[in-house]
Amino acid sequence: MPDLVTDGDNLGDHLATRSFKQIKGTDIASATNITIGTSGNTFDVTGTTTIQHFDNANWVVGSTISLQFDGAVTLTHNSGGLSGNQANILLSGNTNFTTATGDILTFLLHDSTSWQEISRNTVGSLGGTMTSSIIPDTNAAYDIGNASYKIRHLYLSDNSLHIGDVSISRTSANTLTCDGTWVGNVTGNVTGNTSGTAATVTTAAQPAITSVGTLTSLTSSGTITGNLTGNVTGNTSGTALSVTGEAQTNITSVGTLTGLTTSGAVNLSGNNLDNIQNLIHDTSATATTLDFAQDQLQTISISVNTTFATTGVATGKSKTIKILNDATLHTLAFPAGWKFVGAKPTDIAASKTAILTLTCFGSADADIVAGYAVEE
């Protein structure tokens, strides 16, 4: 049997026992004001009605009770408006609390007007449905998770996330706004527009950047490899690669060229070709039909009586034909429209060389002015 030890005081100073058993009292139905019976120290609370006060009749200051809730009941913190034996409920965090089935709260009758919560055992810790705010009893003292056990997901509504004095909020669809300054590296992809004052990219090599927008200027102390589109102002140096675009209509002048090769016509648009030391022509053989689309200097060897004709006659074109005759005199015939400067030849003596020059002042034979000379 347990021993009750006193030193003469009516209340006694010590209670010595191997075990202390609390008695479960009669269930209490939730109500605005509930009366705590004296049939025990631990009670089940049934129902879901909000509780504002505990009646402390027949309880003395210093008493403790434990209440286990059978459902979701809201306890009102320090609601006031006391009457009779009513006492306020003083809850941890100084805020209302809604229980879940199985939650156990223990209270101490701190004085005749207040039951003070001294412990709270909630089923499943933070699991289940949150029906009120979670407010710590001390500022900046507790964590959610730790370095080893982290929170997996954090879902927020349109309200702000406050970190110290800075808030991050969702201002519109898919838009986050920070009322402070981002400091440090941003790793990963940024999709969408960014605004504000951009900081300097401090890492020299940025291999992931493969394209940029329209630059107003670009300064490089090294080599630019690849295609460059747009205007280049200033000097360029180094080894130039080939221009791959066939049409370069914006190039209106070049420096001193060491050579120029073209597979088409060079159009000077009526301008002069100045300071030419030598104009070196290609030469080729021709048939009796003189083609003005071929080389300007041509040769022909004849061994029979020969009649000349033309093709490709065009204004401004000219030809010089070297005629080589064999060991027999042969007759020569020309288009009737040609205008000869000097005598029009009718033959060429044996083993002679002659020069026939033709200049076109139109596109017909009648527009050709001819000149002929033969060696002595």
Most confident of 31-45, 138-152, 303-317: 303-317
Q: Which amino acid is at 70?
A: D
Say whether pLDDT at 13 is over 60: no
Grade residue 104 by pLDDT with cuts at 50, 70 and 90.
very high
150-189 pLDDT tens trace: 888 777 776 667 777 777 777 666 677 777 777 767 776 6
Residue-level pLDDT at 167: 78
Say whether pLDDT at 298 is over 90: yes
Residue-level pLDDT at 74: 95
Q: Which amino acid is at 58?
A: N
Say whether pLDDT at 126 is over 60: no
pLDDT mean over 361-376: 96
50-96 pLDDT tens trace: 999 998 888 899 999 999 999 999 999 999 999 988 999 999 999 99
Say whether pLDDT at 118 is over 80: yes
2 or 136, which is more confident? 136
Question: How far, CA to CA in Å, does 64 sit from each of 67, 108, 112?
Answer: 10, 4, 13
Residue-level pLDDT at 124: 53
Separation between Cα atoms, residue 278 and residue 289, nearest integer Å: 29
Ramachandran class of 188: left when φ > 0, alpha when ψ lies in -120 to 50, beta otherwise: left
Grade residue 375 by pLDDT with cuts at 50, 70 and 90.
very high
Residue-level pLDDT at 237: 67
37 or 311, which is more confident? 311
Give the CATH class of 283-374.
Answer: mainly beta
- How would you class 89 by CB atoms within 10 Å of its CB: exposed for 0-12, middle for 13-18, buried for 19 or more? buried
Grade residue 49 by pLDDT with cuts at 50, 70 and 90.
very high
Spatial contact of 87 and 60, defined as CB atoms under 8 Å apart: no
User: Residues of the chain with pLDDT > 90: what percent?
Assistant: 45
The closest alpha carbon to 76, from 68, 87, 66, belongs to 87
Grade residue 203 by pLDDT with cuts at 50, 70 and 90.
confident
Residue-level pLDDT at 51: 96
How is 49-117 classified by DSSP, letter by letter? Answer: --B-EEE-TT--TT-EEEEEESS--EEPTT-----TTEEEEE-GGGS-EE--TT-EEEEEEEETTEEEE
Say whether pLDDT at 7 is over 60: no
Q: What is the mean pLDDT of the chain?
A: 84
Question: How far, CA to CA in Å, does 241 sit from each of 233, 237, 259?
Answer: 18, 11, 16
CA angle at 261 for the pair 260 and 264, rounded to the nearest 5°: 125
314 or 226, which is more confident? 314
Q: Residue ranges of the domains in the chain?
A: 28-121, 283-374
- Total number of residues shown for the chain: 376
Say whether pLDDT at 48 is over 80: yes
222-276 pLDDT tens trace: 777 777 777 777 666 666 656 667 777 878 888 888 888 888 878 888 888 888 8
pTM of the model: 0.38
259 or 98, which is more confident? 98
User: Residues of the chain with pLDDT > 70: what percent?
Assistant: 83
Separation between Cα atoms, residue 134 and residue 142, nearest integer Å: 12
Query: How many Cα neighbours within 13 Å face the side chain of 156?
Result: 11
Residue-level pLDDT at 78: 95
Q: Which residues of 321-357 are buried (b: 16+ CB within 10 A; e: fewer)?
A: bbbebeeeebebebbeebeeeeeebeebeeeeebebe
